[in-house]
Structure 1
């Protein structure tokens, strides 16, 4: 049985030896220049819970600060450390590495709440997109890590091509419509 909570797509090319379909991305661990600054953003603005926080923890041949955050009681969805990055600058453009982290909200109203929180905190929203499969708000965290805050439409509403493959789009998200969304959706 397909787990429709994550969506269902017909791949354009199936892997010859496919991974277990139950695999999920459990957490993302990012380097930060300043634990307090990143804590203020992810906890005070976005509303994540602090699961663990420690200072001067040994790791990777040095010591640094760590912060583990969760939404809803998972051991951690986001981890941060300063082991190799304390007081460092953001990753420059033009290098390989992580493009962005997507945080999926279970409801459209939840995404709208996130947009309101960001606006109230004066956080610039870089891009507002409607991808057909999902609505997305793109921004950067205090360390310059790019985030996508998203809400997935029900799978039955995803646009498909003639062969049944997902046909994502790159339209603009109507922020005013999102902000007026019904809290129960």
Structure 2
């Protein structure tokens, strides 16, 4: 059976890396602050208490998902948290780690990468300014920027919030 041009394009599209956005509760100092943040996150009380991350699932072996995110260097330090919440810049760090499998909750497929997703993410991270300022340069800006580099889609978090809220 002959393969049509559309099928070839489809097959080629399936080889691209899958891109996801996921959220977890912001980390806080152990104790009441951590319990409060986890509860607020679980009940979707404040979208600002969510930490956003980009997950890439490569199609080439090993096809283990890789997480990229941006957060304060010491997210559990109370003084760092207070400084960040008061609008001051704090030292940040870009992280990369592997996952055995994708999360089953609060994880959304956003599209396929236009190129090798891991390479694109590394290049993006090489140029990312690591001073974190909540509301101006935080995990939301990082996630939107990296997803745009990977897929071409702008403002993905606004689209995802709209689809969850409405």
What band does the TM-score fall into relative to the shorter chain? under 0.3
Which structure shows the higher helix fraction?
A: 2
TM-score w.r.t. length of structure 1: 0.23
Q: Which has the higher contact order (CA 8 A, sep 6+)?
A: 2
TM-score w.r.t. length of structure 2: 0.25
